Structure 1
Amino acid sequence: MPDFALAPSAVASPAGGLADSVFETARTRPALPVLARRTDPSSPVWEEVTAAELRDEVRDLARGLVAAGISPGHRVAVMARTRYEWTVLAYALWAVGAEVVPIYPSSSRDQVEWILRDAECVAVVVEDEQGVMTVGSVCAGLPRLQHVWQLDAGALEQLVQRGAVIPPTTVDSLRRIVLPDATAAIAYTSGTSGRAMGCALSHRALASPCDTLLAGWGHTAAPPGEQASVLAFLPFSHVYGLMIQGLCIRGGILMGHEPEFGEEALASALRTFRPTYFYAVPSVFEKIYKNFLRTSQQTGRGALFERAADTARDFAAAQERQRLGRGSGPGLDLRLQHALYERTVYRRLRAALGGRVVRATSGGSPLNRELSLFYEGIGIHVHDGYGLTETAGGITMQPLGRERSGTVGKALPGTTIEIADDGEILVRGPSVFQGYVGDEAATRAALHGGWLATGDIGRLDSEGYLTITGRKKDIIITSGGKSVAPAPLEQRLRMHPLVHQAVVVGDNRPCVGALITLDPDFLAHWRAAQALQGDAQGREAREENALREEIGRAVAAANSTVSRSESIRVFRVLPEPFDVAGGLLTPSMKLRRDAIVAYYASEIDAMYAARARAPRRPTANDPTADWDDSDSVFR
């Protein structure tokens, strides 16, 4: 089957800066709705903003920035959630040649101080009084910081008023001298280990993947004849969010903003905004699936959902074999079963995302193949892509008509990927960053003759599909010398509805182990469904045994995907999930492995010490009963 879907091999390079797209769309399609906002977060009504209205807001705010002394090359930090003002502010800054420095609003005082100092910011925009207090506590050590603007105190409106004396032509003149290779943003890495580093991203770097994706895949973001729409809810403080924002603005895609990341707020926004395209990270897709399962079980339809989910995966796998030229596609019986569940199950599941989503993208980390097949089978094909902060977002995508679940697709046209001798992924292309701010040594270590050493481990197959197997620095080496990539095991563990997070450990240990946290919502549902009889003490003991067996099944399922020497031999369930506030997750929800291992050092020692003792006697129903020297330790 021909690979007919890749974007053109050469996409026109941008001639100017990112703000040009706002003004160009307003010139050619002034009435096109480009943004949507809710004045009241509880309201189901979204107010649309046209391209001409957005241009006017951007220009007026840019005039205010000029009046406040913001000049080309100045760096301005934005420390706010994903909200309408973030987009207007970013494009106003780019219109005058300034550089945007995104900061997660949940960042600690030390993190805020480090970024503001390292980037030499002259101004910072915060969301509320808490942000003002955080910045105020570090201002004394930041002599270059001149302005602290608070969104909720009307800072942007005040800037617009201040800029009334600046001619609009001043903004147009500044915008026209912004070159594609000028720095547009200083995006800081998540800092999974060590201090976050600022990646200098040019206007060209941020625009390039957006233009390539729009050229090759943009027409799939909505049904024919409809305007595509996207609900932005992941942080613009992360390069993934910045890329989505760029895609929408450059592609004329209607974008709504949802600042709250909680399940209830997101579900409400999806039902009312009704996007045609959905983007998220794997943990969101996992959570949605688990919510589907939990809800079906609570309504007595758990068995029906599981049969429908199995049929969806089988149907999608058969379709995949057909489009890759490896099979004839779903048979008659499978097509009939799928059609039945489409009427009774799948369309209801799609309604949870607003009912209009035709496709989706997963990024941030690889998506589990079984989960990808499930979503494709219910009618939402999820494109699993790959990118880094250092590459301004996406560098791979699934070729249309040749999608392959379990991979992150192929390199975007104009981008080249190679695999080093040690398995590290190397990337070269127009979206690669300019370097780390103020750290020439780190820049030299990452860039070699135009090639970026990503730090990720992966493999390319004969057709150019890339599979990510983990981070180079995360590889575990047991005391027996076995190298183990933790990511695939962790990914498979999280597929069990009770498992919320998992961290595989084992460096310099005799075998691989795991720290596991439980999904609080599903755990509550699971406990209620047990309905165990007897006295309280007896029920508690039986419940713990049942939970041990259930988590044992999750571990056994994960172990079935790896060799015996790579399998998890010991595990411990922790009482609390890892979170950002405790410093065990990055703001983009990635595991801080070093911090987790240090924090739970005593639990890890106890887990391996228990294994060294006489092995326990497995129960008859224990899924780990056939493991040699296995031990499951609950805290």
Structure 2
Amino acid sequence: MHPLEISRQAPLLMQGGLADSLFETAERDPLLQQLARRSDTSPPVWSPVTAIELRDEVVGVARGFIAAGIFPGHRVAVMARTRYEWTVLSYALWTVGAEIVPIHPTSSHEQVGWILQDASCVAVVVEDEQGIMTVGSVCAALPALRHVWQLDAGALADLAESGLSVPVTTVESMRRIVLPDSTAVIAYTSGTTGHPRGCALSHSSLGSPCDTLLAGWGHTTAPSGQQPTVLALLPFSHVYGLMVQGLCMRGGMLMGHEPDLRAETLADALLSFRPTYLYAVPFVFEKLYKNFLRKAEEAGRGAVFERAVRTAQEFAAATERQRLGAGPGPGLDLRLQHALYDKTVYRKLRAALGGKVCGAVSGGSPLNRELALFYSGIGIPVHDGYGLTETSGGITAQPVGREKLGTVGQALPDTEIQVAEDGEILVRGPSVFQGYINDEEGNQAAFHNGWLATGDLGRLDDEGYLSVIGRKKDIVVTNGGKSVAPAALEERLRVHPLIHQAVVVGDNRPCVGALITLDAEYLAYWRSVHTVPGEAYDRVLREENALREEINRVVGAANSTVPHVESIRVYRVLPEPFDLANGLLTPSMKLRRDAIGQRYAAEIEAMYQSSSRAPRSLAPADPYNWDEADNVFG
């Protein structure tokens, strides 16, 4: 390892369960502000909760669980958005040795029924009436289910009230018998194909990456002498969100909860909470960038903003070459330009995020390198990390002082990564899960000679930096035998402010195609500045033609980054986005490719039919004989 990446201190070996850190903090530093409760107002007001207050609330809820017959090994599902009560519930359940089964609140009746049955849950905590109705529709097939609690109906207060007769010493006794290798969470995979599978994660596997990251990287989450503050944006129904919660609780950070990622709500939360560090997925960083651009263009400063973006990227790239020993760093002219834009542009962008953000981590899927350079150039370095449900969260990080953007960094200490001959990433280390529940065949397939087969494709450079190419099962293979990894093309398309989402298709087709959705907010702005005079019909037609030409340019720009045979030859713009509500996104904001392919099978077929110069029954002999980026609109 490079000297700069050696951990400042070795993480302590866990002796008990995840709840212990809360009790230890309350004993050591009772007045430390641990959480911040969000009001329902706009902008929100944040009320701090100290470690001792949080511990006492957790103990009260734990007593209620004991009174309800929840004991070690029992599985309790939590189906709610990221909110204050989620943290209280999780630590109360871990205190009594119960296992949490997170369920995303937008899950379908079928998904909820499958998870509750597969995990044999004895209880479920839902957020609202909708959750009650969802569970009610499937509970007849769940003989093990004994309790349903509703947060919005005062579940925490009711639990605390019902547990008043349970001695506090009983809670303490139950907490002390929880061991590091006890199961803490049954986290279900996103289920992009087939039924989701329950991953058994132990207390130590969830705590290990948190403690390692805190030991080696914790000092980067806030300026020296300040308490780090983190706004939890990710769903706690996903392991990345649980890892962020663990980092905050184990690292003495102040955590707030914000489940709503709509632009206006998120902006209010960032300005009022003023986090020092962000943990998010690429979608959030892409959305923030597009909002910056749209507001600059609305103010008539779009050209200035674009020059500032290029300067930020060039400055960050030159700085990166310098720290990696491959260049002298930014030249005088570039430093002067950067200093000018820092005063006139970058400072305002940082202020829009609360003014205190000093860094961020992106996970869930690879972050576009140009976008990472932009954020680093404006003074907010965003580092890409890598992990999956089966590894309890992060297994790589960028070494401090040796960050290499465009990669996901190097393996965490005590974690090993290798790439198999077919390009699949293999992992082993302390954060690897205990196995899938009720799926022995899946467990046997998941491990190769002690290594976890991640299902992801990647490559390691000679310094151990990992680059993730995409999922093995997502590779598109055309009928000419060409294999195309869709992730790089999709992220190139999404960077443009008009593009909301993109899905590359082309399996058993003569060329690569794409399904595209547009960003509604930016599209409305784009239309407002591209109005043309004339009769209504002619005006609409010309505006649509201009939009087609713009999207053609976007597709052409993406194609310029890949070999010609891998370029997008046909595409279709869809009238609605892929989201959780229509079942086309996972809770971690990943595309459900199979579901998208089924939903839009007719559109895909029509897209290829309308673009072929050969009869439908005959594939073109040469894929280059297809129309250049046919712009078929839905």
Which residue of structure 1 lines up, in the alignment, with residue 603 of structure 2? 603
Which residues of 2 match residues 70-81 of structure 1 at below 5 A? 70-81=70-81
Equivalent position amino acid for 1:301 in 2? R
Query: Does the aligned pair in 1 maintain the 2:119–2:198 contact within 8 Å?
Result: yes
Matched, 1:247 2:247: yes
Distance 1:608 1:202 in 2: 48
> What secondary structure does 1:69 align onto?
coil
Q: Cα 1:54–1:127, aligned 2, differ >3 Å: closer, same or farther?
A: same
Which residues of 2 match residues 21-40 of structure 1 at below 5 A? 21-40=21-40
Which residue of structure 2 lines up, in the alignment, with residue 53 of structure 1? 53
Query: Does the aligned pair in 2 maintain the 1:315–1:330 contact within 8 Å?
Result: yes
Which residue of structure 1 lines up, in the alignment, with residue 340 of structure 2? 340
Which residues of 2 match residues 247-396 of structure 1 at below 5 A? 247-396=247-396
Equivalent position amino acid for 2:114 in 1? W
Once the two structures are overlaid, the 10-residue window that deviates more, 447-456 or 189-198, is: 447-456
> What secondary structure does 2:495 align onto?
coil
Q: Cα 1:29–1:550, aligned 2, differ >3 Å: closer, same or farther?
A: same
Question: Structure 2: where are the runs of 5+ without partners?
Answer: 616-623
Distance 2:182 2:533 in 1: 69
Distance 1:280 1:63 in 2: 34
Query: Does the aligned pair in 2 maintain the 1:234–1:261 contact within 8 Å?
Result: no
Shift of 1:10: 5.3
Which residue of structure 2 lines up, in the alignment, with residue 161 of structure 1? 161
Query: Does the aligned pair in 2 maintain the 1:3–1:399 contact within 8 Å?
Result: no
Which residue of structure 2 lines up, in the alignment, with residue 621 of structure 1? none
Question: Structure 1: where are the runs of 5+ without partners?
Answer: 616-624
Which residue of structure 2 lines up, in the alignment, with residue 541 of structure 1? 541
Query: Does the aligned pair in 1 maintain the 2:126–2:150 contact within 8 Å?
Result: yes
Matched, 1:5 2:5: yes
Which residue of structure 1 lines up, in the alignment, with residue 621 of structure 2? none
> What secondary structure does 1:174 align onto?
helix
Number of aligned residues: 626
Which residue of structure 2 lines up, in the alignment, with residue 231 of structure 1? 231
Query: For each residue in 1:422-478, what CA deviation from the matched residue of structure 2 results, as whole angstroms up to 9, or x when unmatched?
Result: 000000000000111111111111123331100000000000000011100011111
> What secondary structure does 2:164 align onto?
helix
Query: Does the aligned pair in 1 maintain the 2:476–2:484 contact within 8 Å?
Result: yes
Shift of 1:38: 2.5
Equivalent position amino acid for 2:569 in 1? R
Which residues of 2 match residues 452-471 of structure 1 at below 5 A? 452-471=452-471
Distance 1:295 1:490 in 2: 24
Query: Does the aligned pair in 1 maintain the 2:571–2:629 contact within 8 Å?
Result: no
Shift of 1:632: 2.4
Query: For each residue in 1:149-190, what CA deviation from the matched residue of structure 2 results, as whole angstroms up to 9, or x when unmatched?
Result: 011111111111111111111111111110100000001111
Once the two structures are overlaid, the 10-residue window that deviates more, 606-615 or 203-212, is: 606-615
Query: Does the aligned pair in 1 maintain the 2:104–2:587 contact within 8 Å?
Result: yes
Shift of 1:130: 1.3
Query: Does the aligned pair in 2 maintain the 1:220–1:359 contact within 8 Å?
Result: yes
Distance 1:244 1:138 in 2: 31
Query: For each residue in 1:201-227, what CA deviation from the matched residue of structure 2 results, as whole angstroms up to 9, or x when unmatched?
Result: 000000000000000010111111100
Distance 2:70 2:614 in 1: 69
Matched, 1:134 2:147: no
Shift of 1:2: 4.9
Once the two structures are overlaid, the 10-residue window that deviates more, 5-14 or 316-325, is: 5-14
Which residue of structure 1 lines up, in the alignment, with residue 174 of structure 2? 174
Which residue of structure 2 lines up, in the alignment, with residue 622 of structure 1? none
Which residue of structure 2 lines up, in the alignment, with residue 526 of structure 1? 526
Matched, 1:62 2:65: no
TM-score normalised per structure 1: 0.97
Which residue of structure 1 lines up, in the alignment, with residue 101 of structure 2? 101
Distance 1:630 1:249 in 2: 50
Equivalent position amino acid for 1:36 in 2? A
Query: Does the aligned pair in 2 maintain the 1:9–1:413 contact within 8 Å?
Result: no
Equivalent position amino acid for 1:475 in 2? I
Query: Does the aligned pair in 2 maintain the 1:500–1:516 contact within 8 Å?
Result: yes
Distance 2:64 2:531 in 1: 64
Which residue of structure 2 lines up, in the alignment, with residue 19 of structure 1? 19
Query: Does the aligned pair in 1 maintain the 2:7–2:215 contact within 8 Å?
Result: yes
Query: Does the aligned pair in 2 maintain the 1:10–1:414 contact within 8 Å?
Result: no
Matched, 1:558 2:547: no
Distance 1:43 1:516 in 2: 34
Shift of 1:43: 5.4
Query: For each residue in 1:267-297, what CA deviation from the matched residue of structure 2 results, as whole angstroms up to 9, or x when unmatched?
Result: 1111111010011100110011011111100
Which residue of structure 2 lines up, in the alignment, with residue 618 of structure 1? none
Which residue of structure 1 lines up, in the alignment, with residue 87 of structure 2? 87
> What secondary structure does 2:4 align onto?
coil
Distance 1:602 1:136 in 2: 35
Which residue of structure 1 lines up, in the alignment, with residue 618 of structure 2? none
Distance 1:147 1:563 in 2: 57
Query: For each residue in 1:308-364, what CA deviation from the matched residue of structure 2 results, as whole angstroms up to 9, or x when unmatched?
Result: 000000000000000000000000000000000000000100111111000001000
Distance 1:265 1:450 in 2: 45
Matched, 1:190 2:205: no
> What secondary structure does 1:516 align onto?
strand
Percent identity, aligned pairs only?
71
Which residue of structure 2 lines up, in the alignment, with residue 112 of structure 1? 112
Shift of 1:266: 1.4
Once the two structures are overlaid, the 10-residue window that deviates more, 605-614 or 349-358, is: 605-614
Distance 1:374 1:156 in 2: 43
Distance 1:541 1:266 in 2: 36
Query: For each residue in 1:536-591, what CA deviation from the matched residue of structure 2 results, as whole angstroms up to 9, or x when unmatched?
Result: 12112211221111111111111111111111111111111112222211122211
Distance 2:47 2:11 in 1: 33
Equivalent position amino acid for 1:35 in 2? L
Query: Does the aligned pair in 2 maintain the 1:419–1:426 contact within 8 Å?
Result: yes
Shift of 1:39: 3.9
Query: For each residue in 1:38-97, what CA deviation from the matched residue of structure 2 results, as whole angstroms up to 9, or x when unmatched?
Result: 243435431111111111111111111111100000000001111111101100100010
Query: Does the aligned pair in 1 maintain the 2:9–2:215 contact within 8 Å?
Result: no
> What secondary structure does 2:5 align onto?
coil
Distance 1:284 1:388 in 2: 19
Matched, 1:409 2:397: no
Q: Cα 1:391–1:425, aligned 2, differ >3 Å: closer, same or farther?
A: same
Shift of 1:9: 8.9
Which residue of structure 2 lines up, in the alignment, with residue 212 of structure 1? 212
Query: Does the aligned pair in 2 maintain the 1:200–1:437 contact within 8 Å?
Result: yes
Shift of 1:531: 2.3
Shift of 1:397: 0.5
